[in-house]
């Protein structure tokens, strides 16, 4: 017994707090840093996503400059610069030098990043692999601030090495981040150029200038029209979880229940609040902070039962059918394009919407299986293709109905590119690296519906194309025999051969016109 007690004392002694930065330092593969090729892409992705988010939030057409320059063996300097609103001096080091620090986590509104992890992860990866400091430059239009910093991993705090303040003569505003990292540079497949191309497709109002190790590429914007800035919404009663409701009630200072419900949830007015309270058998004069456990359980149940309008969907920022086609046409040499933007729908009180674009024919390879571009909140998903709701939905659809070839359960074959965009206030990523969407049945179903809508549109084109090809073949066949037929007819009728040939050719053209109407 004595021994055991001592063991427990001994073992308990080692229990201590782990900083979230230490956690990610040790588990950096969770953030997408498991090998040098992927790590390099992840750094670019985190910086670019963050930049476009910042621009959009401030209503500024994004101008993003990305630079990748080899320094020494397997080392690269990465720089991403935007023309966003910048960050004020007091918060600059915290915004990027501290894990789980951000402005978007507690908000119900579509955004690329929400976790307050991305850029800090890139800085951590840089200091882990090269030991270099991160250089941050920011201006809100006033002075230009420059910081040299590292992350103090044990305390999860930014550690400023030096600061510099400069006059802002040209009125620049934005953020510039420069890091040196270990990496391996590739240009095909899951690569930085491919990521930037897909970003340009899905964000056709952004201009992206890429200075890579092998030269410069400019992705021009295809439009100056920006999607609507999504609005923040309150949680919907149908989506709130018991534990969260309990916390909201316990910490509420509201003096009665109706105010509490109307103030904290969307789509609750006086009469629906009354209905909820009546069903839960709670008096309006009760203070929310004084509800007992059973009251909260009852309240939660009745909140699920009372009929309410679905949450407003202006918290989403869909791209829309026209912009999807513009984006695709800009970067893909296809023959025909179709797009579908489904109306938003709701999952557990959280609005989401699916958009689909298809490119067909042209330069797309007819012999391979279709290419799939996956996006979540306008960000390309480059990895974990096999573990994603979008892939599941595409493979489980019967594409043969739409005139394409497919072995069951596989990607369809043919000169086809499939773009799927999942937009939501909350994307259930399968990991912090944000490369795949968890396979919730509600999500898969909605993606399949969007694909079906797009497939039907595409089918019209494919069928027409097939029919035209058949007609053309028939014509070609007939055309070849025209002189012979004309000769025989001429002999039989005494009519001139040339006239008969002209007549026969006229028939052909008519048929063609008729069919093509």
Which residues in 100-159 contact a second copy (CB under 8 A)? 100-103, 105-107, 115-116, 124, 127-132, 140-142, 153-154
CB of 160 to a second copy, least distance (A): 16
Q: What minimum distance in Å lies between the beta carbon of 513 and a second copy?
A: 51
With CB under 8 A as the contact rule, the residue among 9, 343, 408, 493 that binds a second copy is 9
DSSP per position, 108-175: BS--S--SS-HHHHHHHHHHHHT-PPEEEEEESSSSEEEEEEEEETTTTEEEEEEEEEE--TT---EE
> Using the rule CB under 8 A, is 160 a contact of a second copy?
no
Binder to a second copy among 69, 184, 247, 263 (CB under 8 A)?
A: 247
Binding of residue 503 to a second copy (CB under 8 A): no
At 338 the three-state DSSP class reads strand
Report if residue 384 touches a second copy, rule: CB under 8 A.
yes
Residue count, binding to a second copy (CB under 8 A): 81
Q: Which of 170, 293, 480, 513 binds a second copy (CB under 8 A)?
A: 293
Of 369, 445, 444, 453, which Cα lies nearest the Cα of 404?
369
Instruction: Indicate the helix (H) or strand (E) that contains 179.
Output: strand 174-182
49 binds a second copy (CB under 8 A): no
| The binder of a second copy chosen from 15, 169, 477, 492 (CB under 8 A) | 15
Q: Which runs of consecutive H residues, i.e. helices, occur in 251-320?
A: 257-264, 270-280, 293-305
CA 461, 462, 466, 469: dihedral to nearest 10 degrees? Answer: 60
8-state DSSP, 437: B
Answer yes or no whether residue 1 interacts with a second copy by CB under 8 A: yes
Q: Shortest Cβ distance from residue 116 to a second copy (Å)? A: 6
Q: Does 25 bind a second copy (CB under 8 A)?
A: yes
Confirm or reject binding of residue 26 to a second copy (CB under 8 A): yes
Q: Of 10 and 484, which CB lies nearer to a second copy in the complex structure?
A: 10
Tell me how far apart the alpha carbons of residues 323 and 317 are, in angstroms, rounded to a whole number: 12
Q: Which is nearer to a second copy, 326 or 434 (CB)?
A: 434
Residue 316 Cβ vs a second copy, minimum distance, rounded to whole Å = 18
The yes or no reply on residue 431 touching a second copy (CB under 8 A) is yes
Pairing mode, if any, of strands 134-139 and 144-152? antiparallel
One of 284, 320, 428, 459 touching a second copy (CB under 8 A) = 428
34 binds a second copy (CB under 8 A): yes
Site for a second copy in 263-292 (CB under 8 A): none
Nearer to a second copy, 359 or 388 (CB): 388
Sequence-ordered alpha helix ranges (H) in 318-440: 321-331, 389-396
Name the residue nearer to a second copy (CB basis): 16 or 253.
16
- Angle formed at CA 349 by CA 348 and CA 353, multiple of 5 degrees: 90
Q: Does 440 bind a second copy (CB under 8 A)?
A: yes
| DSSP 8-state code for residue 343 | P
Q: Residue with structure tokens 């040339």?
A: 498
Q: At what angle do helices 36-57 and 192-202 cross, to 10 degrees?
A: 20
Establish how many alpha carbons lie within 13 A of residue 176's alpha carbon, considering only the half-sphere containing its beta carbon. Answer: 16
Q: Which stretch binds a second copy (CB under 8 A): 81-89, 304-312, 333-341, 399-407?
A: 81-89
Between CA 402 and CA 412 the distance in angstroms is: 10
Is residue 485 close enough to count as binding a second copy by CB under 8 A? no
246: contact with a second copy by CB under 8 A: yes
**Nearest-approach distance from CB 17 to a second copy, in angstroms:** 5
Part in contact with a second copy (CB under 8 A); list of ranges 80-88, 184-192, 258-266, 321-329: 80-88
Instruction: Work out how close the CB of 131 gets to a second copy at its nearest, in angstroms, rounded to a whole number.
Output: 5
Out of 62, 86, 204, 227, which residue is the one contacting a second copy (CB under 8 A)? 86
Q: Report if residue 309 touches a second copy, rule: CB under 8 A.
A: no
| Residue 443 φ/ψ region, left for φ over 0, alpha for ψ in the -120 to 50 degree band, beta for the rest | alpha
| Distance (Å, whole) CA 117 – CA 46 | 9
SS3 495: coil
């Amino acid at each position: 017994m004595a021994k055991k007690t001592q063991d427990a004392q001994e073992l308990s002694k080692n229990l201590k707090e782990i900083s979230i930065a230490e956690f990610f330092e040790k588990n950096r593969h969770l953030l997408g840093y498991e090998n040098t090729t992927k790590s390099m892409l992840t750094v670019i992705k985190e910086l670019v996503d963050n930049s476009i988010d910042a621009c959009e939030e401030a209503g500024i057409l994004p101008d993003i400059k990305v630079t990748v320059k080899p320094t020494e063996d397997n080392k690269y300097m990465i720089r991403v610069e935007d023309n966003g609103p910048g960050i004020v001096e007091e918060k600059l080091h915290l915004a990027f030098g501290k894990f789980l620090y951000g402005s978007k986590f507690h908000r119900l509104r579509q955004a690329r990043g929400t976790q307050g992890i991305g850029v800090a992860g890139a800085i951590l990866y840089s200091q882990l692999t090269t030991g270099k400091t991160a250089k941050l430059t920011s201006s809100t239009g006033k002075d230009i601030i420059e910081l040299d910093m590292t992350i103090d991993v044990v305390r999860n705090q930014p550690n400023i090495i030096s600061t510099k303040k400069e006059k802002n003569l040209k009125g620049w505003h934005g953020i510039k981040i420069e890091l040196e990292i270990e990496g391996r540079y590739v240009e095909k497949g899951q690569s930085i150029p491919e990521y930037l191309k897909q970003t340009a497709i899905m964000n056709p109002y952004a201009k992206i200038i890429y200075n890579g190790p092998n030269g410069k590429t400019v992705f021009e914007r295809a439009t100056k029209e920006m999607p609507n800035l999504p609005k923040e919404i309150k949680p919907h009663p149908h989506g709130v979880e018991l534990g969260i409701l309990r916390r909201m009630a316990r910490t509420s200072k509201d003096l009665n229940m109706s105010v509490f419900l109307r103030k904290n949830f969307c789509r609750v007015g006086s009469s629906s609040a009354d209905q909820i309270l009546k069903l839960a058998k709670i008096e309006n004069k009760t203070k929310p902070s004084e509800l007992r456990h059973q009251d909260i359980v009852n309240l939660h149940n009745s909140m699920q039962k009372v009929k309410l309008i679905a949450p407003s969907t202006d918290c989403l920022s869909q791209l829309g059918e026209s912009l999807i086609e513009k984006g695709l046409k800009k970067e893909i040499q296809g023959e025909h394009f179709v797009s579908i933007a489904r109306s938003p729908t709701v999952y557990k009180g959280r609005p989401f919407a699916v958009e689909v674009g298809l490119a067909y024919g042209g330069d797309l390879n007819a012999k391979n299986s279709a290419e799939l571009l996956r996006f979540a909140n306008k960000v390309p998903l480059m990895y974990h293709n096999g573990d994603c709701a979008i892939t599941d939905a595409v493979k489980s659809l019967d594409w043969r109905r739409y005139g394409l070839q497919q072995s069951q359960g596989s990607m369809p074959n043919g000169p086809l590119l499939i773009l799927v965009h999942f937009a939501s206030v909350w994307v259930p990523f399968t990991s912090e690296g944000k490369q795949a969407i968890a396979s919730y049945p509600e999500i898969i179903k909605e993606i399949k519906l969007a694909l079906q809508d797009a497939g039907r549109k595409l089918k019209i084109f494919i069928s027409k194309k097939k029919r035209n090809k058949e007609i053309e073949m028939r014509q070609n066949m007939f055309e070849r025999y025209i002189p012979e037929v004309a000769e025989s007819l001429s002999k039989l009728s005494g009519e001139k051969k040339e006239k008969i040939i002209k007549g026969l050719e006229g028939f052909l053209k008519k048929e063609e016109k008729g069919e093509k109407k």
